[in-house]
Structure 1
Amino acid sequence: MNGKRALVIGSGGGIGAALVHQLAASGQFDRIYAGNRRLRAAHHSKVTRLTIDILDDDTLADASRQIAQDGALDLLIVATGLLHRGTDIRPEKSLRQLEASVMAEVFAVNSIGPALVAKHFLPLLARRQRGVAIFLSARVGSIADNRLGGWHSYRASKAALNALVRCFAIELGRSNPEAIVAALHPGTVDTPLSEPFQARVAESTLFSADKSAMHILAVIDQLSPMDSGGFFGWDGRPIPY
């Protein structure tokens, strides 16, 4: 073992859970911290479960202090997001459907929460060596790639996340030129987040959570400091902001 440590926030979701499992099985990390709002039992000796609410500064601060006692982080993955919830939150098909309360909640989860995560955990990344922070974004958050419109709150909140990631990369790069901070689109994954919108997705491009986690980890392995601040697809190809 090489003493490496990883943190996955959003470990209760399909992609997050698959990432924790694959990181634990990889043999590359001594410790994987799995952060989620609801504490779950750990089923692997390398996994430490933490209560983390991305919109609660106190739980973020508590978790960061606990991790800092063990040493630096080599990998941070933020696998959280909100696209829909029951009948309360749905992607807008028209600007007539915009509601301030819905927009505020979508932005809180997709933009503000990851920013607070960055505030507490980017300072824990390894210094003077390769440390990687990945924020799961979405291709629909690309302004340049927007051909269809709609989904206003989700698109805009992910575009805001991408802008934040760029800012984080620039700031972190000043103190550690080896650091990598990037946004990553995992593709369409067979999870509750995408379930209502899978009808038009080709079977070949609908990934299981395990397959998506494999793609994400493969892209992470390929990234270099020159890629910091970038936005990438599940296949490692750059996506325009």
Structure 2
Amino acid sequence: MTTTDTNVEATGRVAIVTGGSRGIGRAVSRRLAADGLAVVVNYADDTASAKETVSAITAAGGRAIAVQADVADEAAVTALFDRAEATFGGVDVAVNSAGRLALSPIAELDLSVLDALHRTNIRGTFVVAQQAARRLRTGGSFVGFSTSVVGTQFPGYGAYVASKGAIEATTLVLARELRGRDITVNTVAPGPTATELFLDDKTEEQIEALAKTPPLERLGTPDDIASVVAFLTSPEGHWVNGQILRANGGMV
């Protein structure tokens, strides 16, 4: 099913943000809401964080609901888009920030960890992208998430960059497949960003070293990444299509 733009003026623009309850996803949800979009905050299992994100948005005068769904489950993601359409009238923006990280040397990697990582990062991206391709209204945008480690190639990140490299490889393919629909497809690849996921299990020395790696000599913030997503999904960013944007302060 393809949804047209007939209801955009009546309902305003609407965004689904997967993994929208914490970290970068929360910052994206709040930024898009501040820019006037109604936001469907998707989460996997942290109901409390999702409610906190929605409360922060509504307290600031925005519109938001929280909807639980496993991004790798096609029935759940279909229901997620159904809920967005039923509540707000349609979907204009889909941001797939849900992801999983696992670090291990390739020789020591538990393959069950690899399977779980790829289920969320690769299959999840495909499932969300499928619904976005079928249901985004004219003038809409899909944004996926990769990582700048695809370029830096740090040891221990083999499984993670393999999953994110797959997302990068499909970005332009999907953009071309949506020819004639006026829908953009881009992927944001953050560098070191100060989220709980990034800071967990790192020493102060490791964090300081990573912060000094970019020429701007600091870690990114979730708001830095949210600003990039806001641009890509705005009318001002609509000429950017099929691209990988490395939002990393100048890393390779």
Flag structure 1 segments of 5+ consecutive residues without an equivalent: 85-90
Task: Please state whether the residue corresponding to 2:190 is helix, strand or coil.
Answer: coil
2:70 to 14, 29, 53: 53
Seq. identity, %: 22
Cα RMSD between the aligned structures? Answer: 2.5
> Residue 49 of structure 1 aligns to which amino acid in structure 2?
A
Matched, 1:25 2:31: no
1:167 to 131, 149, 173: 173
Contact 1:187 1:207 survives alignment (8 Å): yes
Measure the CA separation in 2 of the matches of 1:168 and 1:215. Answer: 20
Measure the CA separation in 2 of the matches of 1:54 and 1:172. Answer: 21
* Segment of structure 1 superposing worse, 148-157 or 73-82: 148-157
- Residue 139 of structure 1 is matched in structure 2 by 148
- Residue 4 of structure 2 is matched in structure 1 by none
Matched, 1:208 2:208: no
> Residue 223 of structure 1 aligns to which amino acid in structure 2?
G
The TM-score with structure 1 as length reference comes to 0.80
Structure with greater helix share of residues: 2
Contact 2:220 2:249 survives alignment (8 Å): no
Shift of 1:104: 1.0
- Residue 87 of structure 1 is matched in structure 2 by none
Contact 1:180 1:223 survives alignment (8 Å): no
- Residue 81 of structure 1 is matched in structure 2 by 99
2:42 to 35, 38, 45: 35
The TM-score with structure 2 as length reference comes to 0.77
Aligned residue pair count: 221
Measure the CA separation in 1 of the matches of 2:186 and 2:77. Answer: 21
Flag structure 2 segments of 5+ consecutive residues without an equivalent: 1-7
Shift of 1:164: 2.5
Measure the CA separation in 1 of the matches of 2:132 and 2:232. Answer: 21
Task: Please state whether the residue corresponding to 1:234 is helix, strand or coil.
Answer: coil
Matched, 1:182 2:186: yes
